[in-house]
Amino acid sequence: MSSLEDAAAEQGPETMEPIPAENDANAAHIITVTVGATVPTGFEHTAAEEVKEKIGVDVHISKDRGRIYFPITTDKLFQVHLLRSVDNLFVVVDRYDHYTFKESKEETLKELQELASKLPWTNALEVWKLNRSFKKKKCFRKGGSGAKTKPNTEAVDATTEEQDLPQAAAAVETQANVEGIPEEEESTEAAPEAKVIKFRVTCSRAGDKHSFSSNEAARDFGGAVQEFFQWKADMTKFDVEVLLNIHNDEVVIGIALTEESLHRRNISHFGPTTLRSTLCYGMLRLCKPQASDIILDPMCGTGAIPLEGAIEFNSSFYVAGDNNDMAVNRTVNNVFHIQRRRADKGSASGMPIDTVRWDLCSLPIRTSSIDIIITDMPFGKRMGSRKKNWDLYPSCLREMARVCRPGSGKAVLLTQDKKCFSKALSRMGGLWRKLHTVWVNVGGLHAGVFLLKRTANTFGQTPEDVYESRGANNAQEEEKELS
């Protein structure tokens, strides 16, 4: 596995670097804060293992699926941006595990307004400022709906997360001077002493026992934050994004540390079903690649899985392939993009990955030569169809069993077509054994990541092989007779 320093070379526009102590005025003032992270649902424990391994701290897994929390000191803050399993990061202002909401909507919203002025903002804002100070490149994240706001009016920006959680952003415009404004911020309309921080409040809420909506919570809490700090609102070019996360009776207030999700770090050429890099990392970690392993992605699409593997688990070799010319070209372009980015930073540009165009059901690979197979199978939604999957899945599993090493080989397969996959797997009982299943959310679809172990049975000698071979031969004979 690559080191933190190696991983740093792969980060995109939000590359983080440690700050030399002699250049940091706050180096002597090290504080400990709690950082929250959103991760692919189902892979919370995988993310917790990575944090423990790379940062050395214990992790609390939230009741709200897809979120973890862990302590970090400010001198190690840059390390959280090098984690491969997290989508977004935020510093926790305060957290309530069992928050008691009032019965009426008016009382609850009033209480949220009052809460804004009682929260311990100091450390969180100090971490936010430190986080901005060592970003190599500054960029603004656009609001979810791109809604425009007018000065001196309330505005609400509603979006929806992949976990189907309603989001809302609310802010009230004002102009004022505040403390702790970054030196790099410049204003053409005001004197240096009148610089302002721009902000927005984003609310994520889950649960059916709340008397208020996400929009209402964001609006009222955002108005109270604005009144307390005298900040200026900007829905797209904001400096501070205040997060209000409500999951049943759990309430977490935080400040975002990432301006765009880290899952987009590897891909420059996207396809119709590009897999998130953070989910790819979770799948790779599930199969525990070892040095010198040959890892195959027979349906690579844009190459998201082998790219993540070649960067993080670079002691293995990756073979990526697809039957679609456009998919193969996208993978090649994405590999070239990473290589060029490495070369620009003075790092070695070589990567242990190769790309091939092939027929999935007839791979040009020697029998029993692959250690790990990991791929995103067609869901039958945007790619392929459910009807075709009933023929495709059994053929795929059989060909994968042929090239995979008996007794030690593994497969990690992602699919949303669980019924078809289970039926196909039951027909391969002599070749594959299911070890573990992780249920994940992929673009709002409930999918499964299946970890399979290749049995020790020799390919071509199990009842499943004989049945499949006879069926294939009969089909070929029928085609010849018809022709």
- Residues whose CB falls within 8 Å of the CB of residue 237, separated by 6 or more in sequence, listed in order: 140, 198
Q: Which one, of 301, 286, 374, 280, lies nearest residue 85 by Cα?
A: 280
CA–CA separation, 388 and 62 (whole Å): 39
Q: Global pTM?
A: 0.78
CA–CA separation, 279 and 263 (whole Å): 8
Amino acid 196: pLDDT: 85
Q: Letter for the amino acid at 137?
A: K
Residue by residue, what is the 3-state secondary structure of 289-332?
A: CCCCCEEEECCCCCCHHHHHHHHHCCCCEEEEEECCHHHHHHHH
User: Tokens for 109?
Assistant: 């919203």
Strand 353-357 to 250-256 pairing? unpaired
Q: Which residue has the tokens 């070239």?
A: 336
User: Tokens for 36?
Assistant: 């929250």
CATH number assigned to the domain covering 277-472 = 3.40.50.150
Amino acid 63: pLDDT: 78
Amino acid 273: pLDDT: 76
- Residues whose CB falls within 8 Å of the CB of residue 147, separated by 6 or more in sequence, listed in order: 155, 156, 157, 235
Q: Which one, of 354, 449, 360, lies nearest residue 402 by Cα?
A: 360
Domain 30-136+197-262 in CATH 3.30.2130.30 = yes
Contact, 48 vs 57, CB < 8 A?
no
Amino acid 381: pLDDT: 53
Three-state DSSP class for residue 115? helix
Q: Which residue has the tokens 């670097």?
A: 17
Three-state DSSP class for residue 255? strand
CA–CA separation, 415 and 433 (whole Å): 17
* Domain boundaries for CATH 3.40.50.150 within the chain: 277-472
pLDDT tens by residue, the chain, 483 residues: 444 444 444 554 444 445 444 444 445 489 999 999 999 999 999 999 999 999 999 999 987 789 999 999 999 999 999 999 999 999 999 999 999 998 899 999 999 999 999 999 999 999 999 998 866 444 444 444 333 333 333 333 333 333 334 444 444 333 333 333 344 444 444 444 557 899 999 999 988 889 999 999 999 999 999 999 999 888 888 999 999 999 999 999 999 999 888 877 888 888 777 889 999 999 999 999 999 999 999 999 999 999 999 999 999 999 999 999 999 999 999 999 999 998 998 888 889 999 999 999 999 999 999 999 999 998 755 555 667 888 889 999 999 999 999 999 999 999 988 999 999 999 887 899 999 999 998 888 899 999 999 999 988 776 665 444 444 444 444 444 444
Residues written for the chain: 483
How many C-beta atoms surround the C-beta of residue 177 within 10 A? 13
Contact, 181 vs 133, CB < 8 A?
no
Backbone angles phi, psi at 344, to 5 degrees: -65, -30
How many C-beta atoms surround the C-beta of residue 115 within 10 A? 18
* Domain boundaries for CATH 3.30.2130.30 within the chain: 30-136+197-262
How many C-beta atoms surround the C-beta of residue 153 within 10 A? 10
CA–CA separation, 193 and 174 (whole Å): 16
